[in-house]
Amino acid sequence: MKEEARALSGGSSGLNSACVVVISILVMFKPVSCQTLKRTADFETGDFSQIYRVSRGDACGDTDGPCDCGVDISVRVVSQSDGHPVRSGSHSVLHRLITCHERAEMMVDRFPMNKAFWAGWSLYVPEKYTDHYTILSQFHDTAGQSWCPGAGRGGPTTLSMHNQGEKLNFKIRYKDLDDNCNRQLNTIVYDVDEMVGKWTDVVVHARLAEDNSGFMRLWIYEAGTIPETRPTYELLDHSTTGSDHGAAWRIGIYRGDPGHVTGYREIVIYSDEARWGLVSEGVDFGHVAPDGVSPYAANSSTGVAWPLRVSANKRHLEDQNGKPFYIQTESAWKAYNLSPSEQDLYLNDLVAKGINSFQMWGPTSSNPDDSWYVKADQLVAKARTRDILVFVCMTQGKKPKTRYNKATAFAHGRMMARHFSAANHLDNVVFISGFDTLDKDLRWEQMALGVKDENPHALVTFHSSRGYSSVENWGVRKSWLDLNGIYTHHPPWWRKGNSYPYAETWANWDKYGHRMPLFEIEAVYEDEHNPAGNGRNMRKQHWWIISSGNVAGHAYGHRLIWSMRPGWQTEGLNAAFRKQLVHIKNFMGSFAWWKLVPDTDDNLVLVGNKGAGETRVTASLSEDGSFAIVYTPEGIDPTLNLGKFSANVYAKWYDTSEGSYRSTEGPFANSGNKIFKTPDNTDDWALLITTNP
């Protein structure tokens, strides 16, 4: 298999001169763009032509045992046919050292500064391996920088993997920005006993930087297994090197000064399958992993077949199996700042509250080396395992004018679509172009067109200003627009006068409801816009929306959660109405909501006692007349035309604040008009009417 991949790459050179093909999901080949990988070293050439150079240390120190400085310090390509272990194919690299010698390494390549990259390789530790301190791989700062200014040369190693006793340590040396000195982290990340007698794969995602824009993420896992989504170790938003010269990537044995060694031992390890490339050139985990397996391959959710698509009737989203997906989303624009433990806390709480989607801002620039991608990738991957959709705004600002021109905006859209894709197992995404704006700047459009150019099946919506929908912002339905998102609000903050969310929904349904899904993209935040953001007003806003034509879904927000400011974990997650969102999920899950048509002109169900303004009763009826939902915000007893139903009906009231049904009433003949009495005319209620008891 490895020989086939090498043949397809156009030759044996480590610097790719043609399109590289890598193994995907153990057995399938996945084509990637030309010049994707900076270097590929599978050693099937039988020599070292695929790497930068071999490093054999010939220094010899005094020991308490015999040491022949003339002994062969081996770094050589070996064959499986001669009894040597290989990761794949028929060749690997043997690293053999006598303890009185310094090194038996190969230098694969040099990593640049300030550019995010992926690197992967495999190590084999023989069963007779008994050494107590040996560096097995390192990213070495070749500039020889000092530990502190004026302290002389120190040559700090940016990253080293070494065994100390029976444990594998991960050392990283970085620059302390407070005193400009190099510091060292020393963390045990793996058990060497788990590596003995088998191949172990290593993947690193890093950005070398002297400032806090650097990061490093490390995966170590048994060859042939699917790695975990969470890295074995990671250091984020931190200096990751001691100088501005980058690092030399070395694989193999390094012992240090042989004069410090006592005893005489032979040390042997093997390496294989070394690859690396830049994020900016489309490289990801799967391109450098020895098996081509991404940790996101394990992120198969149990309920949703990603990615989502627009339904045949153009009214809602569905998964690849045709299962309808009702959007219940939350504005969490700064969720990308969450730590790994905070991500788990937030996502688990979404599931508990019945929220199946959230929204977050994108990167600050089109630079794929932005550390935003590190945290965002992990968050989106975790969301996928929980059947959670993520709306990713492609920028963090309302106007693209200072950051993009038309060409760079288009390229940015392409890059975002390439990154959040099925290939990366990050396809639980809908892209948002624009943010809280009525700006028709064509750069917003170019971003959306870039997404579609890269992936015609990707979903795109537009975030307009309060009181407007995506389509209303542009005046016409754009070819790249897949979902019509309404930014609803509530008087007196409503930007289009004394109107209400249901009226805006009706207007958009009449104009565009049969051409694309209609959903609420943002709304009043709880505890932020008093009195609209409290109590019954929050329920009004959401229940009006779901009963008046926003068939695809609705949006929630909270004062603390949208920015993840202090208190979001306690007060925010446990806000009064937020805890009631699960009632909406349960209610909508009890019938085929995707069949609903809103009663926009009161000729389907509502014929009397419908109220106005704050008391307006809203309703929707299924296309086949088999069920209807009615929402009365102030306890008004609605009058309904039962002749619109296909058979005799049954009715039951739903307590929107407690999430429970009252007893079923009926049957009632499907003819004439009938007044339905609310259980309590001082509160808001939802009524479900069905032709089945």
541-584 tens-digit pLDDT = 899 989 987 779 999 999 999 999 999 999 999 999 999 999 99
| pLDDT greater than 50 at residue 62 | no
* CA gap 118, 32 in Å, rounded: 15
Residue 424: predicted pLDDT: 77
Percentage of the chain beyond pLDDT 70 is 79
Domain boundaries, the chain: 50-298, 325-561, 606-690
Unique residue bearing structure tokens 């999430």: 659
Give the DSSP letter of residue 624: T
Q: What is the pLDDT of residue 495?
A: 47
The mean pLDDT value for 617-633 works out to 94
Domain formed by 606-690, architecture: Sandwich (2.60)
pLDDT score recorded for residue 134: 78
Please give the model's pTM, rounded to 2 decimal places: 0.76
How large is the average pLDDT for residues 204-209?
Answer: 87
CATH superfamily of 325-561: Glycosidases (3.20.20.80)
Query: 548, 499 in Cβ contact below 8 A?
Result: no
Burial class (CB in 10 A: 0-12, 13-18, 19+), 145: buried
Buried b vs exposed e over 382-396: b needs ≥16 C-beta within 10 Å? bbbbbbbbbbbbbbb
How would you class 572 by CB atoms within 10 Å of its CB: exposed for 0-12, middle for 13-18, buried for 19 or more? buried
CATH class of 50-298: mainly beta
Alpha-helical (H) ranges within 366-405 are 372-385
DSSP state of 455: -
> Quick check: do 50-298 and 325-561 share a fold?
no
Query: At 419, phi and psi to the nearest 5?
Result: -75, -50
Q: Quote the crossing angle between the two packed helices 340-353 and 372-385, to the nearest 10°.
A: 40
**Regarding beta strands 199-207 and 181-191, do their DSSP bridges make them parallel or antiparallel, or are they unpaired?**
unpaired
| pLDDT grade for 20, boundaries at 50, 70 and 90 | very low
Mean pLDDT of the chain: 81
